[in-house]
A and B are shown apart, each in its own frame.
Chain A
Amino acid sequence: MIEVKELHVTFGKGTPLENHALRGINLQIPEGQFVTVIGSNGAGKSTFLNSLAGEVMADTGSIAIDDQDVTRWPTNKRSGLVARVFQDPLAGTCESLSIEENMALALKRGQRRGLSRSMKKEYKELFQERLSRLGLGLEKRLGDRMGLLSGGQRQAVSLLMATLQPMKILLLDEHTAALDPKTAAFVLELTRDIIAEQQLTALMVTHSMRQALDVGDRTLMLHEGNIAFDVQGDEREGLDVPDLLALFSRNKGEELSDDSLLLG
Chain B
Amino acid sequence: MSAIAFFGAIESGLLFGLVAFGVFIAFRVLDFPDLTVDGSFPLGAAVAATLIVSGWNPWVATAMAMVAGCMAGALTAWLNVRLQIMNLLASILTMIALYSINLRIMGKPNVALLGDETVLTPWEELDIAFYLISPILLTLVVLVVYFLLVRFMTSETGLAMRATGVNAKMARANGVHTGRLTIMGVALANGLVGLAGALFAQTQGTADVTMGVGTIVVGLAAVIGGEAIMSTRTIARWLFACLIGAILYRLAIAVALNTDALGLQAQDLNLITAVLVTLAIVMPRMKQLKRSGGAA
- Known: A91-B169, A93-B167, A94-B170. Is A116-B175 also a contact (CB below 8 A)? no
* Contact between chains at A106 and B174 (CB < 8 Å): yes
Verify if A84 is at the interface (C-beta below 8 Å from B): yes
B159 within 8 A of partner (CB): yes
A 53-80 to B, binary, CB cutoff 8 A, 1 in contact else 0: 1110000000000000000001111011
Closest 5 CB pairs of A and B: A79-B175, A113-B156, A75-B172, A94-B166, A118-B159
* Interface of B toward A, CB cutoff 8 Å: 152, 154-160, 162-163, 166-167, 169-178
| Assembly CA distance A94 to B169 (angstroms) | 10
Instruction: Give the A interface residue count (CB, 8 A).
Output: 35
User: Are B159 and A101 touching (Cβ within 8 A)?
Assistant: yes
- Interface check A119, CB cutoff 8 A: yes
CA distance A97 to B160 in the complex (A): 11
Which one of A55, A93, A101, A104 lies within 8 Å of B172 (CB-CB)? A55
Given contacts A76-B175, A105-B174, A106-B174, contact A97 B163 (CB under 8 A): yes
In the complex, what residue of chain A is closest to B174 when comparing beta carbons?
A109
Contact B157 A113 (CB under 8 A): yes
A133 at the interface (CB under 8 A from B): no
Query: Is A166 an interface position by the 8 A CB rule?
Result: no
User: Which A residues touch B176, using CB under 8 A?
Assistant: 76, 105, 113
Interface residue SS majority, chain B: helix
Pair B167/A91 contact, Cβ less than 8 Å? yes
Asked if A115 meets B156 with Cβ closer than 8 Å, knowing A76-B178, A79-B175, the reply is yes
Residues of A within 8 Å of B157, CB to CB, are 113-115
Is the pair A97, B175 in contact by a Cβ cutoff of 8 Å? Answer: no
Q: Is the CB of B152 within 8 A of A109?
A: no
Q: Quote the shortest CB–CB distance from B233 to chain A (angstroms).
A: 9
Whether a CB of chain B sits under 8 angstroms from the CB of A110 is yes
Query: Given A76, A91, A96, A116, which contacts B155 in the complex, CB threshold below 8 Å?
Result: A116
Q: Which residues from chain A contact B175 at a C-beta distance below 8 Å? A: 76-77, 79-80, 108-111, 113
Q: How far is it, in angstroms, between the C-alpha of A109 and the C-alpha of B194 when the chains are bound?
A: 34
Q: Which residues of B contact A93 (CB under 8 A)?
A: 167, 170
Residues of chain A within 8 A (CB-CB) of B154 are 117-119
| Interface residue from A74, A97, A116 paired with B162 (Cβ < 8 Å) | A97
**24 A-B pairs with C-beta separation under 8 A:** A74-B172, A76-B172, A76-B177, A79-B174, A82-B173, A83-B173, A86-B170, A93-B167, A94-B166, A95-B166, A97-B162, A104-B156, A104-B159, A105-B163, A105-B176, A108-B160, A109-B173, A113-B176, A115-B156, A115-B157, A116-B155, A118-B155, A118-B158, A119-B154
